Amino acid sequence: MLKYFKIFLITLICCFSVHAQKSFDPLTAKTVNWGLNAGFNALNFTHYNAYQGETKLNNTSYTGKVGFSGGMFLRINLSNFFMQPEVGYSLTRERFSFAKINDLGNSLQQTVVNADYHSLRLPVLAGYNIVKNSHYLFNCYLGPDFQYCYRSSFNLGGTPFKDKSPQFSINGTIGLSLSISHLFFDFRYGINRPNTDFNFGKVPDSPELLKDILVKKNENILSFSCGMIF
């Protein structure tokens, strides 16, 4: 996946080289713009709990890892306001651990699981241009982000397994972006992703150790991307 991300980033750089010499007015010259972007998940603020059956496990930890995203967007300009539907791919990565309990209620050895979530995303954003002139703009935006997680990949002690059961979720997104001619930088915060709980008992290939484990999460993700707008 990292190889494809590098290819996408090189494509952005090539597009910038081709168009860098052209005069460009990001908003006032066009009613509709389109663009490409690529980036990464910088921070992951997640409230996480693990359950063994109906028993909440206390000895748990969670670590968000760097993930990647890329896609394209369409910007429809309405004076200082704009609408921006997007379509893209994202890879969210994390590591969580817990200690199961035995029949006597004693904690067992810590279990560590690494997880990657592959998703298709469809944000629909509404924004306002705070600063707007011929070659620079600074704006804020918000809107829903529709996500379809089509595959979840896990690794337990070197043993990989996957779940291909789709999950749908909708989270709120707020953000800021800065455009300098064709080049733009985007910072956004995905708020309260629901429907991200995971029941390993429903995954056919999950190890027997995880069959009675349910993970409940409330995810908030800060991401950064850069790209080109035409």
Average pLDDT over residues 109-130: 94
- pLDDT at residue 25 greater than cutoff 60: no
- The domain segmentation of the chain, as residue ranges, is 2-229
Give me the sign of the Cα torsion angle 20, 21, 25, 27.
Answer: negative
The 10s digit of each residue's pLDDT in 135-150 is 788 999 999 999 999 9
Cα Rg, the chain, nearest whole Å: 21
**Confidence at residue 181, expressed as pLDDT on a 0 to 100 scale:** 84
| Rounded distance between C-alpha atoms, residue 229 and residue 129, angstroms | 15
pLDDT band at 24 (very low <50, low <70, confident <90, very high): very low
- pLDDT at residue 155 greater than cutoff 90: yes
Average pLDDT, rounded, for the chain:
84
| Rounded distance between C-alpha atoms, residue 90 and residue 92, angstroms | 6
Q: Look at the domain 2-229 and name its fold.
A: Porin (2.40.160)
- Residue 185 main-chain phi, psi, to 5 deg: -125, 140
